[in-house]
Amino acid sequence: MSENTVNHPVTAKKVNPRIENYKMIWKRLKKNKAALIGGYLIVFFIVVAIFGPMLLSKDPNSTDIANKLVGPSAEYWFGTDNFGRDIFTRIIHGMGITLYVGFLSVIIGLVVGVPLGIVSGYYGGRIDNFIMRIMDILLAFPGILLALAIVSVLGGSLQNVIIAVGIFSVPAFARIVRGSTLSVKKLEYIDAVRALGATDFRIIFRHILPNVMSPIIVQATLRIATAVLTAAGLSFLGLGAQPPMPEWGAMLSEGRDYIYDAWHVAFFPGMMIVLVVLAFNIFGDGIRDALDPKMKQ
């Protein structure tokens, strides 16, 4: 009597290192309560910017002189301004403008600054000196002054503000990416890939760029806060969004003349600028801690 036994091979579950790395980053990020609050606020702001204007029946630019400078009430949650416009409605509509300026200007800085930084760090030599000297010239000016000069030349408008903030964001991305590229290209596996016949294009986009994404993500998150604050400052000076656009910096500028008689006109736009900038800053700090290789187990 023979007994046949069938041995089923045990297949090991394949583990994707990239997915595991994302899980570890999320695990570390969850431990930072302040960063989570900032992230939730950012998601809330984005949802409000997209769907908020659809849910409001009031026109942000409709005037009612009979009810001008009315304080916060059940009818006007944030009160009205000097033209009788509902401040709450204008702030909700202005949310999309603020985030649009912040994200688009940072995207411009990314698209221009990241390739310049990688090329500068990878090739070095005269190319590196030429690119970095241009970046040094741009960095010699404080960001707000550089943006102010650019807008003064191009003219005051929301589009020109985006271009100006994007231009002064380029040097920050270029320098950070250059430094990371210099570190990555010295690794042994880059030499191995090059020895196997990989082109510079493949090395840069398949091996170097993925390894410098962490500082890029952190810088982009923090840079959005700077872009929002700079754009609001330019609009406050009258060089950004033009009336009657409900941009928070412009609203803050209009409200400063009534700060003693109607505090709410300047308070609520200023409060929203602070909340958005604070949310991106604390979330960016949390992302930086979560992506820090020194915190890996």
**Confidence (pLDDT) at 273:** 93
Q: What is the pTM of this model?
A: 0.84
pLDDT digits 0-9 by tens, 73-94: 888 899 888 888 999 999 999 9
pLDDT digits 0-9 by tens, 175-225: 999 988 988 888 888 878 888 888 888 888 888 888 888 889 889 999 999
Mean pLDDT value across the chain? 85
**Confidence (pLDDT) at 132:** 92
Q: Tell me: pLDDT of 1 over 50.
A: no
pLDDT digits 0-9 by tens, 109-161: 999 999 999 999 989 889 999 999 999 988 888 777 888 888 888 877 888 88
**Confidence (pLDDT) at 17:** 64
pLDDT band at 18 (very low <50, low <70, confident <90, very high): low
**Confidence (pLDDT) at 297:** 45
**Domains of the chain from N-terminus onward:** 23-295 (1.10.3720.10)
**Confidence (pLDDT) at 296:** 46
For residue 128, what are its two tokens? 């590196």
**Confidence (pLDDT) at 9:** 53
